[in-house]
Amino acid sequence: MTAVPNDAAIVRERIESPTGQSLRRFLADRFSAAAMGIVLLFVLLAVFAPFIAPHDPYETDLFRRLQPPAWMEGGEWSFVLGCDGLGRDILSRIIYGARVSITIGLAVVMIATVIGIVLGLAAGYLRGWVDIVISRIVDILLGFPYLIFAIALMAMMGPGLKNIILALVLKEWVVPARVVRGEVLAAREMEYVEAARAVGAPRRYIMFREILPNILSPVIVVSTIRMAHVIILEASLSFLGIGVQPPTASWGSMVADGRAFVLDAWWVSTFPGLAILALVLSINVASQGLRDAFDPKFSD
Amino acid sequence: MFSRVSAVAAIAMMAAVPLAPAMASELRVGFTLDALTLDPANHRNRQTETILRNIYDGLLTRDAKMKVVPELAESWTQVDPLTYDFRIRQGVKFHDGSTMTADDIVFTFERLTKDGAMGGQTSPRKDLVGPVESITKVDANTVRFKLKEPWPILPAMLPVQEVVSKAFTEKVGSQGLATQTNGNGPFKLVEWRKGDAIILERFDDYYGGSPDIAPVGKACVDRVIFRIIPENASRVAALLAGEADIIAELPPYDMKKVEANANTKVMTVNGTRSFFVALNNAKKPFDDPRVRRAANMAVNKALIIDKILLGTAVPLNGVLSPDAFGFNPDLPAYAFDIAAAKALLAEAGYPDGLDVTLDTDGAFKDMAEAVAAMLTKIGIRTKVVVGEGSTIRAKWAPGGEKKGDMFFNSWGNGSLDPADIFVPTLRTGDRGNTAFYSNKEVDALLDAANVELDQVKRADLYKKAQVLVNKDAPWIFLWLPQDIYGVSKRVTGWEPSADSRINLHDACVK
Amino acid sequence: MKPLALLGRTLQLVPVLLGVSVIVFVMMLLTPGDPVEIMLADQQATPQQVETMRHDMGLDRPALERFGVFLGNAATGNFGLSFFHRRPVFDVIAERLPATIELTLAALLLALVIAIPLGVIAAIKKNSLVDRLAAVGSLFGISLPGFWFGIILIILFAVHLKILPVAGRMDFACEVAPVTYLLTIDSLLRGRPDCFTNALSHLVLPALTLALPMAAVLTRVQRTAMIEVLRSDYITFAEAKGLSRRRILWRHALKNALVPTVTVAAIETGSLLGGNMVVETVFGWPGLGRLVVESIFVRNYPLVQAAVLFYAVTYVLLNFVADILYTVLNPRVKL
């Protein structure tokens, strides 16, 4: 075992230079970069919705009920994608709906990842009863079907944005926790960790300063993939009628609203669904690019 | 031109092929919900009752005009305020061939009204039979109902109870009755494919049904299938494809399509469910009748009925259906008037408007949003909160915290008697009084009506109470939707019924 | 498989099931809404009626006692009466289960049928057009919101092309006496090929909706596994021995490359089963998922309890099956 400073230097090198390389590799992949661009576009839509949306998304006009898209008979260009069952502009509602999907996707994944990292590190590094308790909780939560768990929690807590986020986080943290625990179990036998232990570094320091930076990239990759899942899950909840509150538009509830008119007013369901598909697909493509860039062993 | 004709012919042939050529006549009903159980005494569910009512008959029933007429009973007399005698029809056969006797009637109603009479459980329908003291066999043909206190709606409530066979129930037990039947109705059970379909066939020894409802005799069709299709779009598609002959709960939006189809038509009947927005009378701002009246003036009911319900509803100015007993046709309407509403709101001390929430179940989201948009226009800025039915119900329980502002609500009134809707929703503290409305005068009138045996006087009491409620405006009075059915043109002899039952005894198929 | 490992696995079930039960019970306890009020809905009911119903359902007893009774009964396989149906929960679930199982199996089969050939071809012809298309396809597959895709399929195939039915499991015209309660199999057993096609035509769209995301995942797994196998020594060895490429691919390589796919498929079947409710809602499929969601809404506690236990058991069992498959199919792993 060599001197500590030497090892620390190696560690630093391991963190920084591959990350830089990975980012370069990611940006070089034009496909993923384009997908990232689309994701950013959605974020901009969400942030600047009031300036971009052509109409008030909440303004109902029963005389425009189920007005078809512009290119169809009876449509007009000021309501490009047509109107819903209460005569509201579908395009404006989709633009505002981006806020819900992106807020929930980001919030759930970020909170869940933080919880997952802390609990995963604790379980993987401390082992013993901490590991047993956390792993048992993980096992129990895994036994619940995701949607049923979320629906039951929403029934308990009532509707609302904060409660959806909470309901999803309470189940979602299991995913990063398992990833982190697995990575930590592997990392704790590594040289640099043993070295730090040998010189008597405190446990907290080893967990958060030594191990965490080294296992972060797989966690980030998994989290971006999970964000796509979470957006679909939120939309599914809204579709089942347990989502954000009206008149706020959520893509999932817009699809659900359109289901009543599916036999001929196809546009009410179709466009918000396409928005979900576009955002989720872009996130997935981008996260695949991230994975390939950070974890070249997968990239064949 | 020629090719179009042949295309039509080809489609017509295709439509005919997949359905195996049925020798027997078969009528298929596209229905919304499966029966929960086949035990007539062990549910409180309208859909279950609709299905069971084709297998079982009741002591009394209702005709197309909702008049109560005898069915398994031949006649009935009210001996005194507490005593009713029913003469039992002779020669009624159960599906197993046994003959119905007065003992079966006594057994049925004891099972409904005695605690623990259903294998230790008590019937959830117990109180639908009222304050029954005893049910006794007077002679072989007469059964006597003795009440603890006057309850003038007993005959109006009896059509919702079905008569079971004593011997059969004792044989299979209450558990068995949940899935097996031995009815006395026009159809007998062939198979219950749970969650999917209930298949019935004609009972050939049927006594004929109520003589007051022509035609009397065996059912017209050989087989009936209740097919469970909860999705509206699927139900409509099944009708248009010729797979279903009658579909319940046709969405207004799809009426055009059903009318346009050469083989189907729309049939409507005034429903029994009154819609309203309950305003929280116990709390600001809706404790002020002026604010409540302003809200009533703000809602353009006609526009919503025209555009969303496509004309399939009747506007209400009170609680009762125009078809209900004691309906007062002279109630003044709150005319849609934005300026007057704003003025009234200002007079009540809200010149700059106010912010409130409107709770609704997801099923009525679009209508609640339409109402909210209209209220917002006069300054009652309304946020719609969609909750789950049970959560909202808890929030608006009369014994609860009374914290809400508005609740988009409705109340069904299958008996079309005010006792079943007016009393529970507007009497002080009653279980459906979600507006927390309390008016001593109204309470007194309702209580008096409840024990009044003279039907003319009873109707008069309700009419007076309606005037008071209309003036107090504890709700935003909305509308009474029609029940809409999609029906194949090959069906004859069937009319939709205001109590939302689908009785198929008289229905035929061409 | 050693019997000891089996016993260990079974014992692992106990804390999971207990934990699941406690969580569901606590959630139900804290959830507002009264099942009796919901059952009575908007019918006039006397306070005495409400009281007796609450007593019949055992709701008048203290929470801890109720939970104890539930655990005691559940241990003997008795899950009590469904509040809403007033029939045994076990029967109500058993009635809905076949539809869900049929749909899940069909989706599983469909996913495997799509994924295995696609993954193999993508691996053999790496970076070819097929490989690229498969990659794009699987990205689409995992990005599709099932509830929306199902509606689009209905609009396309049922409303416009009119070649497939909108919803349900089978047409009116078909009546097949039940054997397995899986309608496709029963119609074959009863010698009704017309009904078999009919049931199949109802099954196609929901199964496809459910299968695509799974097929997307499995295609990737299959492709990666196949690439790894093709790189391994024994394939090089077989090639050196002069075995035909076809034979090597389909006999030797595929056999080994199937192991991860089958394992992942077994695990994913669990989430397929628990994620049915959305597709069941779209296609009006009378399955368990929808029943459970409805039961949460009407506070039908006994049914939710039992159903969640069922999901947890199948989840653990499927993982177990995955492990066994992994050992049995892969001679290199010893458990």
Question: What's the mean pLDDT in A258-274?
Answer: 85
Tell me what the pLDDT averaged over chain B comes to: 89
The full DSSP string for C40-82 is HTTS---HHHHHHHHHHTTTTS-HHHHHHHHHHHHHTT---B-
Task: For residues B437-447, give the mean pLDDT.
Answer: 95
Inter-chain contact B194–C95, Cβ cutoff 8 Å?
Answer: yes
A 10 A CB-CB count for A188 gives: 18
Q: How high is the pLDDT of residue B17?
A: 39
pLDDT, one tens digit per residue, over B403-413 is 899 999 999 88
Q: Which chains touch A (3 or more CB pairs under 8 A)?
A: B, C
User: Encoding tokens for residue A143?
Assistant: 């036994």
Element (H, E) at B269: strand B264-270
Mean pLDDT along residues C283-294: 88
Beta strand pairing call for B142-147 and B83-88: antiparallel
Query: What's residue B6's pLDDT?
Result: 43
Kindly determine whether residue B391 and residue A259, on different chains, have CB atoms separated by under 8 Å.
no
Q: What is the pLDDT of residue C276?
A: 87
pTM over 0.90: no
ipTM score for this prediction: 0.88
Residue A12 has a pLDDT of: 44
Residue in B closest to A254 by C-alpha: B366
Q: CA A207, CA C169: separation in Å to the nearest integer?
A: 54
Residue B479's SS3 state is strand
Half-sphere exposure of B412 (CA within 13 A, CB side): 14
Top mean pLDDT of A206-220, B103-117, C61-75, C240-254 is at B103-117
Distance between CA atoms of C96 and C169, rounded to whole angstroms? 12
- How many Å apart are CA C201 and CA C168, to the nearest integer? 10
pLDDT at B5 (0 to 100): 40
**Residues belonging to chain A with any Cβ–Cβ distance to chain C shorter than 8 Å:** 136-137, 139-140, 142-148, 151-153, 155-156, 158, 228, 232, 235-236, 239-240, 252, 255-256, 258-259, 262-264, 266, 269-270, 272-273, 276-277, 280-281, 284-285, 288, 298, 300
Region B169-180: mean pLDDT is: 93
Q: Are B445 and B452 in contact (CB under 8 A)?
A: no
The answer to which of A81-95, A284-298, B97-111, C255-269 has the lowest mean pLDDT is A284-298
Structural domains in chain B?
Answer: 4-263+489-509 (3.40.190.10), 273-482 (3.10.105.10)
In the prediction, which pLDDT does A9 show? 43
Residues C273, A145: C-beta atoms closer than 8 Å: yes
Q: Residue B230: in which H helix or E strand, if any? A: none
Contact B254, B305 (CB under 8 A): no
Query: To 10 degrees, what angle do helices C63-75 and C301-329 make?
Result: 40
What pLDDT, on the 0 to 100 scale, is given for residue B73? Answer: 95
pLDDT of B422: 93
Q: How many Å lie between the alpha carbon of C265 and the closest alpha carbon of chain B?
A: 29
Walk me through the domains of chain A, giving residue ranges and CATH numbers: 19-56+74-298 (1.10.3720.10)
Whole-angstrom Cα distance, residue B303 to residue A63?
Answer: 9
Q: Do C147 and A266 touch (CB under 8 A)?
A: no
Res C172 pLDDT > 80: no
3-class DSSP string for B386-430: EECHHHHHHHCCCCCCCCCCEEEEEEECCCCCHHHCHHHHHCCCC
On the question of pLDDT at B230 being above 90, the answer is: no
What is the DSSP secondary-structure string of A200-251? Answer: T--HHHIIIIIIHHHHHHHHHHHHHHHHHHHHHHHHHHHHTT-SSPTTS--H
Which class for C231: exposed (0-12), middle (13-18), buried (19 or more C-beta within 10 A)?
exposed
Write down all domains in chain C, each with its CATH number in brackets. Answer: 96-169+207-329 (1.10.3720.10)
Say if the Cβ atoms of B420 and C43 lie within 8 Å.
yes
Using the beta-carbon criterion (under 8 Å), do C147 and A145 form an inter-chain contact? Answer: no
What pLDDT is attached to residue B238?
Answer: 83
| Distance in angstroms (rounded) separating the CA atoms of residues A187 and A212 | 9
Q: How confident is the model at residue B77 (pLDDT cuts 50, 70, 90)?
A: very high
Which helix (DSSP H) or strand (DSSP E) does residue B277 occupy? strand B273-279
Average pLDDT of the residues in C125-150: 88
Split at pLDDT 50, 70, 90, the class of A2 is: very low
**Dmax of chain A from CA atoms?**
80
Q: Above 90 in pLDDT, residue A113?
A: yes
Q: For residue C165, is pLDDT > 90?
A: no
User: In percent, how much of chain C has pLDDT > 90?
Assistant: 24
| Chain A residues touching residue C126 (CB < 8 angstroms) | 300
Q: Which of A236-240, B501-505, C232-236 has the lowest mean pLDDT?
A: C232-236
Tell me the per-residue pLDDT of C315-327, one tens digit each, with 9 for 90 and over: 888 888 888 887 7
Q: Residue C207 above 90 pLDDT?
A: yes
Q: Check the CA dihedral A75-A78-A83-A87 and report its sign.
A: negative
Residue C9 has pLDDT above 90, yes or no: no
**What distance in Å separates the CA atoms of residue C11 and residue C5, rounded to the nearest whole number?**
10
For the record, the structure tokens of B486 come out as 């999609």
Check pLDDT > 50 for residue A8. Answer: no
Q: Is C81 left (phi over 0), alpha (psi -120 to 50) or beta?
A: beta
pLDDT attached to residue B24 = 76
- For the residues A205-216, what does the mean pLDDT come to? 86
Residue C325, pLDDT score: 80
What mean pLDDT is predicted for residues C137-157? 88
B20-24, B492-496, C45-49, range with the lowest pLDDT: B20-24
Classify B334 in phi/psi space as left (phi over 0), alpha (psi -120 to 50) or beta: beta
* pLDDT at residue B388 is higher than 80: no
Burial level of A28, CB count in 10 A (0-12/13-18/19+)?
exposed
User: Which residues on chain B are in Cβ contact (under 8 Å) with C297?
Assistant: 388-390
Contact (CB, 8 A) for A92 and A57: yes
CB contact under 8 A, A146 and C33: no
Instruction: Look at residue C127 in the predicted model and tell me its pLDDT.
Output: 83
Residue B341 CB coordination number (10 Å): 26
Q: What's the pLDDT band for A26 if we cut at 50, 70, 90?
A: low
Q: Highest-confidence range of B48-57, B248-257, C117-126, by mean pLDDT?
A: B48-57
Q: Which two tokens stand for residue A176?
A: 């990063």
When pLDDT is cut at 50, 70 and 90, the band that residue B1 belongs to is very low
State the smallest CA–CA distance between residue B303 and chain A in angstroms: 8
For B248-276, write each residue's pLDDT tens digit: 999 988 899 899 999 999 999 988 899 99
CB A26 within 8 A of CB A18: no
Query: How high does pLDDT run on average in chain A?
Result: 84
User: Is residue A114 predicted with pLDDT exceeding 60?
Assistant: yes
Question: Residue C81: which of C93, C94, C69, C90 has the closest Cα?
Answer: C90
Pairs of CB atoms within 8 A across B/C: 142
More confident residue, B304 or A296: B304
The pLDDT of residue B171 is 95
Question: CB-CB: which of B362, B369, B385 is closest to A60?
Answer: B369
Q: How much is the average pLDDT of B138-147?
A: 94
Nearest CA in chain A to B304: A62
Q: Is the pLDDT of residue C101 over 90?
A: yes
Reported confidence tier of residue A6, pLDDT bands at 50, 70, 90: very low
